[in-house]
Amino acid sequence: MRKFAISFNMLLPAILAALLFIPYTINFLAHAMVGEKQFPPIIMMKLPVESTAVALPAEVVQFTPFDITLQLDSDALAKRINDIVAKSPHGVAMQGISGKVLSSMQAEIVGNGFHIDNPGPQVQLFSARGKTLWSWKITPLSPNRQALTLRLHLKAIDSRQESQQIVDLAEIQSFVQKNPTEWMKRYGIWFIAAGLLAIGIWRRMRRS
């Protein structure tokens, strides 16, 4: 009986470790073998702006920071929007825009599954070409298909009243590649802690 007890005590940590890591391993292998098809970022513009105004890397990796930049001619964009609004039938507005849009605007980027270093509306910065420039540092937290939305905070004058209107400029669909090495660095300690806690509880129960 003593030999069996010693053997079981030696095997227990390995059994607990296997039970903790098997679900993650199965999930990782399943996605690696069958997972979603990867694709480069897709930029879908929702205002009259070329998609080249948005710049981001061709590949996005989980937990790896990257930059997204937006470069606009805000004067030309405001004029374009005002022309469209003026020609639109009464009661039909592009994203609910009304009044005369001013060239002074702010931009923000939002998205679940990402950490954004500077969230919220950002003020205009001007590049050497006289265009408005915004930049964000983004860290993907979740893998597979993810989406980011670029928004503009517009100032408009309607009936001599100034108002702020928020509209979607673009939607970015991206495939975030898994990063198992970094995942283990961030969350592996919790598996180890859970295993040690389970061993401690088991030993206390045996003594009692």
168: pLDDT strictly greater than 90 = yes
Residue 71: its pLDDT value, please? 94
Q: CA-CA distance, 5 to 202, in Å (whole number)? A: 13
pLDDT in tens, 33-47: 445 678 899 999 999
Range(s) of the domain holding residue 27 = 2-35+186-207
Q: Which of 48-57, 69-78, 88-97, 171-180 has the lowest mean pLDDT?
A: 88-97
- Based on the domain organization, do 112 and 144 belong to the same domain? yes
Q: Which of 84, 155, 145 is nearest to 113 (CA)?
A: 145
- Based on the domain organization, do 161 and 103 belong to the same domain? yes
Structure tokens given for 6? 């010693």
Average pLDDT, the chain: 83
Q: What is the CATH number of the domain that holds 101?
A: 2.60.40.10
Q: CA-CA distance, 65 to 26, in Å (whole number)? A: 27
> pTM of the predicted model, to two decimals?
0.74
Q: Which of 150, 153, 147 is nearest to 169 (CA)?
A: 150
- Based on the domain organization, do 162 and 71 belong to the same domain? yes
Q: Please tell me the total count of domains within the chain.
A: 2
Amino acid at position 182, single letter: E
pLDDT in tens, 74-127: 999 999 999 999 888 876 778 989 899 999 999 999 999 999 999 999 998 876
